Structure 1
Amino acid sequence: MTIAYLPGPPDDVPPYEPWAGEPEVLAEAAAAGRRAAEWIRSLPAPPTPRPVGTWIAGALPDAVEAATASLDPAQCDRMGPDGRLIEGTAGVDAGTTSTLAIVPCVLSDADWLTPDQHLRLMAVASLVTGIARLLADDPGTAILHGLVARMCATLDHATRPDHPGLATQFEHTVRHER
C-alpha cells in the first residue's frame, strides 16, 4: 500500500493574527470560568472527609479556572509538516482536560451532593471542554458568531447560586407525576 501525504504548511507561515473581538471573548470565558470555579468551591463539603470531596473542592475548580484562563485560539487544529492533522488543544493542557473528563465517573462517590448539583457539575465540565474544542476546531466561527459567548452564558446559568426551593419544587413535581 502506498501512502501519500499532502504537503505541510510552508516554512514561512505568517504569524497568528487574532480574530476581531477575540480578546473580549477570551476575557469573558476566563471570567465565566472563575465564576464557575467559585460556585464549585461553594458546594457543601461531605459530612466526613473523603478524597472525592477534596477533589471537588480543589482539583476540579482549579481545572475549570485553568482551562478557561489558558484558552488560545492560535492552538487550533492544523496540518503538520508531514501532512498529518495535528489536533489543537486551544491552549488547554492534557492534565486539565483529563480532570474535566472524569467528572461523570467521580460524581457517583459524591452522594452528599444533590442530583441537581451533580447535573450542574457535569454541565460545567462539558461546557468548559466544549469551549476549548470549539476554539480548537474552528476559532473564527466560535469567536465571530458568538458560540463561545453563548456557551459562557450557559456556564453562568449552570453555576448560578443554589436555590433550595427550586430543587424541592422539582422533586415535589416529580413525585406527583408518578
Structure 2
Amino acid sequence: MTLLPLPVPAGPADDAPPYEPWEGQAAALAAAGAAGRRAAAWVRSLPAPPLRVPVGAWLAGELPAAIETAMGSLDPEECDCMAPDGRAVEGTGGVDAATMSTLAAVPVVLAEAGWLAPDQQARLLAVASAVTGAVRLIAQDPGTAILHGLLARLCAVLDHAARPDGPAWCSVPPNLD
C-alpha cells in the first residue's frame, strides 16, 4: 500500500483573511495586563526569607517578572490553529516557553519557602494557576475567553489571590471586645 500526502493548498500562505479583533478585546487584554501588574507587585511585597536563599531571590525577581510578562503578553492571534500542511499547531497565547516554565515551577519552589505563611503560599499557587489558566484560555479559545468574560473571571481570581496582606483582608473580623 502506498500512501501519498495530500497536496498543499494552492495560493500564497497569506491567503488567510486578516485578523479581526473581538469586540472588547483591547479592554479585556488591558485589564489582564493591569491584573498581572497588581499580582506581581503583591509577590514582590511578600516578606524576604530570614537568610539569603536562592528561592527568596527567585520569588522577588523571576516570578513577579514572569507574572507581569505573561499577563501583559496575552495575544489572541497566537491561538491553536492548523498549519498549511494540515498539522494542528498548539498556540502559545503570546507567552514564551521560558515564562510558562517559571510559572510551572511555583508548586515545587513553594516547598522551600517555609518563611511564608500557609495563606501566602496558597495564594501564590492561586496566582500561578490563574496566570497559567489565562494563557491557556487565550491560546485555546480566545473568542470565548474575551466575549463571554472568562478572561475577566480569571483576572478577578488573580486579584483576589494577590490582595494585600493584613487584617483588612481577613475573612474573620477581629474581636474588638
Same fold, judged at TM 0.5 (above): yes
Tell me the equivalent position of 1:26. Answer: 29
Give the Cα separation in 1 of the matches to 2:7 and 2:160: 44
Tell me the equivalent position of 2:93. Answer: 90
Q: Aligned match of 2:154 in 151, 154, 167?
A: 151
Note the 1:52-131 alignment, pairs <5 A. 52-131=55-134
Tell me the equivalent position of 1:176. Answer: none
Instruction: State percent identity of aligned pairs.
Output: 62
Gaps of 5+ in 1: 170-178
Tell me the equivalent position of 1:160. Answer: 163
Q: Aligned match of 1:42 in 29, 42, 45?
A: 45
The answer to which structure has the higher helix fraction is 1
- Paired residues of 1:141 and 1:147 also in contact (CA < 8 A): yes
Flag the 1:9–1:53 CA change in 2: closer, same or farther, 3 A. farther
Give the Cα separation in 1 of the matches to 2:22 and 2:77: 10
Q: Which moved more, 1:32-41 or 1:9-18?
A: 9-18
Please list every run of at least 4 consecutive aligned residues from structure 1 whose deviation after the TM superposition is greater than 3 angstroms.
1-10, 164-169
Gaps of 5+ in 2: 173-177
Give the Cα separation in 1 of the matches to 2:10 and 2:140: 18
Give the Cα separation in 2 of the matches to 1:13 and 1:25: 25
Question: Aligned AA for 2:99?
Answer: T
- Paired residues of 1:52 and 1:110 also in contact (CA < 8 A): yes
- Paired residues of 2:32 and 2:152 also in contact (CA < 8 A): yes
- The structural deviation recorded for 1:163 is 2.4
Spell out, residue by residue over 1:116-160, the C-alpha distance to the aligned partner (whole angstroms, 9 max, x if none): 111110111110010011111111100000000011011000011
How many residue pairs get matched? 169
Local SS of the residue matching 1:116: helix
- Paired residues of 2:163 and 2:169 also in contact (CA < 8 A): no
Spell out, residue by residue over 1:4-47, the C-alpha distance to the aligned partner (whole angstroms, 9 max, x if none): 66967963011211100000000000000000000000000000
Note the 1:6-25 alignment, pairs <5 A. 11=13, 12-25=15-28
